[in-house]
Structure 1
Amino acid sequence: MRMKDRVALVTGAGGPMGMAVAKRFAEEGASLVITDISAARLAEGERAVAEAAGSAGKVVALRTNAMVRGEVEELVAAGRQKFGAIQILANIVGGYQGQHYEGPADLVHMTEARWDATMQLNLKPGFHLVQLLAPAMLEDGYGKILNISSINFAGEAGSADYGAAKAGVASLTRTLAMELAPHVNVNAIAPGIIRTRVLAMLGPENAEIYKERSLLKRLGEPTDIANTALFLCSDEGGYITGEILPVSGGIWPAL
């Protein structure tokens, strides 16, 4: 049980990737504080995590807009009231805000609303959560923080907003690794194309392009991310910090 007696907070736990991460942590003994902006998706995530944990008592689920400070404060308080210290943060929430995304768009044609929404979704939750959780991690001398960047952080035509936001996540990850050293490990996963809602937004033609670019000739599964997250957030990954790890079937970030 690689996470026995640990408490992990997982954002985006109603989505395929966040749910897979939360379930994997629960299978390895962690107690979970999970959140999603959708109450319906969160309820599904809560059921899945409770089943993986073998007990509903090992899960706190609270619908939260992770971009809003007050709601994040309530989430952290609820987790601490139930379990005490939160040692692990897996900040999985990110991607595009669907109401602003209408497919690939060059920067000169992109709306300001889409740009702002993408920046907010990918960067604001980490800002709030690290400020609220890291001080206690430093005081306790132990902590694991995992962010989600993307192989597109080096840039890709048609997604300037997403690439810039994920580059920001990568930079934030490395900065936090320096600022929170030596007792808090901070890393990020840079996924390729994983079977999530972002894949549906890209459409089947673009999905096929990414599949062919992969050396493994397949798209990624949420469990591919979850297994990597488990390694980085457990003591097995204790000598790794400040890294942006591609989990992409061999597609590497490149300009």
Structure 2
Amino acid sequence: MRLRNRVAMITGAGGLMGQAIALRFAEEGAKLVITDISERKLMDTKKMLTKLTKDIIAIRSNVLNYDEVKNVVNDTYAQMDKIDVLINVVGGIRSHPMNQSILEISGDRWDDTMTLNMKGTLNCIQLVAPNMVKQKYGKIVNISSIGFAGESGLSDYGAAKAGVASLTKTTAIELSPNINVNCIAPGLIQTSITTRLGNDELEYYRNQTLTGKLGEPIDVANTALFLSNDESRNITGQIIAVSGGISPHL
């Protein structure tokens, strides 16, 4: 098992992507710390995980709130003594309509999207990484998006995800040489966001891929697993696209 005796903290574990990562990690022997803003969704994930492991800490929190993240981290150190792996899943876009011109987007929407996609990642890194440095071991995986390359109607989301990608590279430099920090940039993954898109939009995104299909949460989970164990020990500061062949770049 590739994560035996490793403690992994996963944010957004109530969503389909975070849930898939948690389940995949449990299959590989990880001890898990899961958190989500939704108590109900978090408990649903915990229930699924109990079939695979008893080593689970599930704490409801809003990772955009520094003090709430601090409580999660402190409880984890009290019960499990360490955190070896941090997976920052929380992000997305909450606005309706989802697509809006840069000429029309409001300042409030801009601020909300930036905060949602970057603040939790920053909070978790600041609270988890110092002990990784002390133990001279750690894996951090952030979730960006191929949208960081820019996409019409999603200027706020693209800019926020570009920020996550940039933050990943800076963090990898600052925490070297013992901490690996990488970033996954998914294409459109079949999660709750696909329910907000019409058939024509889904077909458009599907046709952009070389594989002719949309990604699934397990695709992101498998990549996170690779970046979280020692098979990827010489990979850091990288942006890994899980996008069916779409290659984003600035």
TM (norm. structure 2) is 0.97
Is 1:184 matched with 2:203? no
Residue type of the alignment partner of 1:238: R
Residue in structure 2 matched with residue 225 of structure 1 by the alignment? 220
Please report how far the alpha carbon of residue 207 of structure 1 lies from its aligned counterpart in structure 2 after TM superposition. Answer: 1.4
Runs of 4+ in 1 over 6 A off after TM superposition: none
Residue in structure 1 matched with residue 58 of structure 2 by the alignment? 61
Residue type of the alignment partner of 1:77: N
Q: 2:73 aligns with which of 70, 73, 76?
A: 76
Structure 1, unpaired ranges of 5+: none
Structure with greater helix share of residues: 1
* Alpha-carbon contact 1:42-1:63 (below 8 Å) kept: yes
Structure 2, unpaired ranges of 5+: none
Residue in structure 1 matched with residue 86 of structure 2 by the alignment? 89
* Structure 2: distance between partners of 1:38 and 1:203: 26
* Structure 1: distance between partners of 2:175 and 2:215: 31
* Alpha-carbon contact 1:10-1:33 (below 8 Å) kept: yes
Residue in structure 1 matched with residue 101 of structure 2 by the alignment? 106
Please report how far the alpha carbon of residue 102 of structure 1 lies from its aligned counterpart in structure 2 after TM superposition. Answer: 1.6
* Structure 2: distance between partners of 1:131 and 1:172: 12
* Structure 2: distance between partners of 1:45 and 1:124: 24
Instruction: Say which SS state the counterpart of residue 227 (structure 1) adopts.
Output: helix
Is 1:234 matched with 2:229? yes
* Alpha-carbon contact 1:122-1:166 (below 8 Å) kept: yes
Residue in structure 2 matched with residue 206 of structure 1 by the alignment? 201
Please report how far the alpha carbon of residue 101 of structure 1 lies from its aligned counterpart in structure 2 after TM superposition. Answer: 2.9
TM (norm. structure 1) is 0.95
Instruction: Say which SS state the counterpart of residue 190 (structure 1) adopts.
Output: strand
Instruction: Say which SS state the counterpart of residue 50 (structure 2) adopts.
Output: helix
Residue type of the alignment partner of 2:183: A
Residue type of the alignment partner of 1:84: D
Residue in structure 2 matched with residue 143 of structure 1 by the alignment? 138
Residue type of the alignment partner of 2:208: R
Sequence identity percentage: 50
* Structure 2: distance between partners of 1:25 and 1:185: 17
Aligned residues: 250
Pairwise CA RMSD? 1.1
* Structure 1: distance between partners of 2:198 and 2:85: 34
Residue type of the alignment partner of 1:21: I
* Structure 2: distance between partners of 1:52 and 1:163: 36
1:206-233 deviation line (CA, Å, top 9, x unaligned):
1111111111111101000000100000
